[in-house]
Amino acid sequence: MGTAEKIVYMDNNATTAVAPEVIEAMLPYLTDYYGNPSSMHSFGGQVGSAVSKARQSVAALLGCDPEEVIFTSCGTESDSTAILSALRANPERRHIVTTRVEHPAVKNLCENISTFTGHKYRLTMLKVSEEGMVDMEEYLSALSDDTAIVSMMWANNETGVIFPIAELAKIARDRGILFHTDAVQAVGKIPIDLSGLNVDFLSLSGHKLHAPKGVGVLYVKRGTAFSPFMAGGHQEHGRRAGTENVASIVALGRACQLAQEKMAEENSRVKKLRDKLEEGLLASVPKSLLNGHKQMRLPNTANISFEYVEGEAILLHMNRFNICASSGSACTSGSLEPSHVLRAMGVPFTAAHGSIRFSLSIYNTEEEIDFVLDKMPAIIANLREMSPFWPGD
Amino acid sequence: MWEYTDKVTEHFENPRNVGQIKNASGVGDVGSLACGDALRLSLKIDDNIITDAKFKTFGCASAIASSSALTEMVKGMTVDDAEKITNEDIADYLGGLPKEKMHCSVMGREALEAAIADYRGLSLPMAEGEVVCDCFGVTDLEVRRAIKESNLHSVEEITNFTKAGGGCGKCEERLSEILRQTISQGLKVVSVTHKSKRMTTLQKIKRIEDVLEREIRPGLKMDGGDIELIDVDGDFVIVSLRGQCTDCFKSQTTIKEYVEKKLREQVLDTLIVEENK
């Protein structure tokens, strides 16, 4: 696909465009400043300073100390490191609590934990309501003296539903249980201040907030026992071996600064665009419905089901207009069943297969929203015309 | 993103023969909303010739393209010729389908069969049989047929073609059992001709080794065991079980019910298998 083509990109929960400011900040570390931050000469040392500066920017966005920030290769690595570290720190505890709507990075690790630890664990996967919220009562009754870690996402990648992390983490802390949150979708989109929270581990991913792919962060609260994921050099104070991905770390630092500057815009202008898109679609397309809690939701995400049609077919018709989005349908999930998130929420099959996720960013414009609102009704009507289940308008 | 051929994309974007024939001669309804794809094929048949075909499909691009292709293929055909269309024919017509999408072409073939059966006033044989995969409602007959027709060799391929095993995955063991049975049935036909022949000990050893390698070892290995041929003396075949099988309380049953049976079927029906303790 030619780069000159105008792309209407509404798939920012999948990945984001690297911000021009970010590219500008990282480029010198791919050209002139190629030194190793661990070197004893000042040519390398100056690169080390750039990494420290990036660490401060990440810490500023998260409301934590720079020493609590460990750079990793991605959100998945951060998730695995946190959960496996917590299990090693509490070898006598053999119970994990998580939810049914976690990202595969957490879900697949927890479901196959014995492969990675060599031990059997009891796993509680908390149910969610129709709106995608956890049930506090069920959460409370799941926790026990045997629970080693609770891992719950801050915001859901498919629906944007936000969990009450402050409250959930406090409940775990009060019972002496470690708490991890996969905040890959939340960081940069909603304000986060870890200073007052009982969160022990937090994962984030650079490419979800306009930094490049291949860099992430694991926040580890000061005082929380930690053991590294892989063995090797002393980088990241011995907590994450391997020569630093300097240019991407610098990029992530810059991206975090930008996210902080644009947080208000994300939560006002972007949210308005999202609401316009969502309300417009729900009004113009019959038998369409919103998936996820209407209020407790990221400002950029709208997950809408179009009943009686299938998601992949919708996406490929949108693709003809260069509109990019995602679907929770079976055919796009790479499996034969629709999204585990929508199924956990009890979204009926008639709607789950036809779910489309629109996820916006600060780069989207009102014209783009109007363009999508103009194209979608005909796409859906056309496919419904073809559907044996469509009862007619 | 899936790599679709230009022909799939073209049929998806400009589907032929969408709709439903009024007073159709035969209608085939397959799939369901829960499964994620469904097809209603209606045929108009005059003098045993399919004069019109229309479809309605709920599903992905390849499901829509397969349905559209099918209607184009059958128009003008005699019912007897149409009956011979396989899912591979539909996929070939489209220049191929991604392997994970082959079940879309199977859905086309099933709808065609159902429509023809409806025209003839018959019930569908495939719907009978025992449901193996509860998630997608696939019967053992459908699985066996796909294994034979499309020459499938793994559970993953069965899932790609029939969807069976693509949900909770609980039926995987049953699917591999059906796979083993179906493949060995196919082989039996070939081996019957050898059965009554007189064989030298060397030929016997060679053939026994072949059967062990092809049919018995894979099954035992899945359970963490293995088998080795120690000696062949006349009709006596001496084997030794290894790994998990060594102290398995079922080892005697394995030898008699499984190994001996297979060897008798495929090598010589007078063989007696003994374990070397």
ipTM score: 0.87
Alpha carbons A134 and A268: distance in angstroms, whole number: 27
Sequence ranges of the domains in chain A: 8-16+263-386, 20-258
Closest CA to A339 of A319, A312, A321, A371: A312
- Cβ atoms of B76 and B49 closer than 8 Å: yes
Answer whether B36 sits within 8 Å of A316, measured CB to CB.
no
SS3 B229: strand
Q: Which residue in chain A is spatially nearest to B28 when comparing CA positions?
A: A388
B76-127: per-residue pLDDT in tens? Answer: 999 999 999 999 999 999 999 998 899 899 999 999 999 999 999 887 666 6
Angle, alpha carbons B213-B215-B221 (nearest 5°): 75
Query: A210-226 as b/e, with b when 16 or more CB fall inside 10 Å?
Result: bbbebbbbbbbbeebeb
Q: Enter the CATH code of domain A20-258.
A: 3.40.640.10
Q: Is some CB atom of chain A closer than 8 A to the CB atom of B63?
A: yes
CATH topology of domain B196-275: GMP Synthetase; Chain A, domain 3 (3.30.300)
Closest CA to A151 of A55, A81, A61: A81
**Sign for the pseudo-dihedral over CA of B200, B202, B205, B208:** negative
Q: Is the predicted pLDDT of residue B192 greater than 70, yes or no?
A: no
Q: Tell me phi and psi for residue B31, to 5 degrees.
A: 80, 180
Q: Which residues of B touch A353 (CB under 8 A)?
A: 33, 36, 58
Q: According to the model, what pLDDT value does residue A338 have?
A: 84
Proportion of chain A above pLDDT 70, given as a percent: 97
Of how many residues is chain A composed?
A: 393
A318-348: per-residue pLDDT in tens? Answer: 999 999 999 988 766 566 778 899 989 998 8
Answer whether B60 sits within 8 Å of A313, measured CB to CB.
yes
CA distance A129 to chain B (A): 21
**In this structure, CATH architecture of domain B6-120:** Alpha-Beta Complex (3.90)
Q: Which residues of A are catalytic?
A: 331
Q: Is some CB atom of chain B closer than 8 A to the CB atom of A392?
A: no
Q: Which residues of A touch B33 (CB under 8 A)?
A: 308, 349-350, 353, 389
* Token output for B108: 């086309």
Q: Which residue in chain A is spatially nearest to B34 when comparing CA positions?
A: A349
Sequence ranges of the domains in chain B: 6-120, 131-187, 196-275
**Sign for the pseudo-dihedral over CA of A388, A390, A391, A393:** negative
CATH topology of domain B131-187: Arc Repressor Mutant, subunit A (1.10.10)
Q: Which residue in chain B is spatially nearest to A338 when comparing CA positions?
A: B36
Contacts of B220 (CB under 8 A, 6+ apart): B226, B227, B241, B243, B245, B254
With tokens 């190793």, the residue in question is A36
Q: Which residues of A touch B36 (CB under 8 A)?
A: 310, 329-331, 336-338, 349, 353
**Sign for the pseudo-dihedral over CA of A333, A334, A338, A343:** negative
A41-100: per-residue pLDDT in tens? Answer: 999 999 999 999 999 999 999 999 999 999 999 999 999 999 999 999 999 999 999 999
* Mean predicted confidence (pLDDT) in A126-133: 96
Q: Is some CB atom of chain A closer than 8 A to the CB atom of B45?
A: no
Q: According to the model, what pLDDT value does residue B194 have?
A: 40
Average pLDDT for chain B: 85
pLDDT confidence tier of residue B225, bands split at 50, 70 and 90: confident
Interface test with A, best of B3, B17, B33 (most A CBs within 10 A): B33
Alpha carbons A297 and A75: distance in angstroms, whole number: 21
Q: According to the model, what pLDDT value does residue B215 have?
A: 82
Q: According to the model, what pLDDT value does residue A175 have?
A: 97
Q: How many A-B residue pairs are in contact by the CB < 8 A criterion?
A: 72
- A308: nearest CB among B37, B58, B60: B58
Answer whether A331 sits within 8 Å of B36, measured CB to CB.
yes
In terms of CATH, what superfamily is A8-16+263-386? Answer: Aspartate Aminotransferase, domain 1 (3.90.1150.10)
Alpha carbons A207 and A259: distance in angstroms, whole number: 12
Answer whether A337 sits within 8 Å of B57, measured CB to CB.
no
Q: Which residues of A touch B97 (CB under 8 A)?
A: none
Alpha carbons A286 and A279: distance in angstroms, whole number: 12
- B61: nearest CB among A313, A336, A349: A313
Proportion of chain B above pLDDT 70, given as a percent: 91
A241-292: per-residue pLDDT in tens? Answer: 999 999 999 999 999 999 999 999 999 999 999 999 999 999 999 999 999 9
Answer whether A331 sits within 8 Å of B15, measured CB to CB.
no
Answer whether B58 sits within 8 Å of A309, measured CB to CB.
yes
Answer whether B15 sits within 8 Å of A353, measured CB to CB.
no
Q: Is some CB atom of chain A closer than 8 A to the CB atom of B108?
A: no
- Cβ atoms of A373 and A284 closer than 8 Å: yes
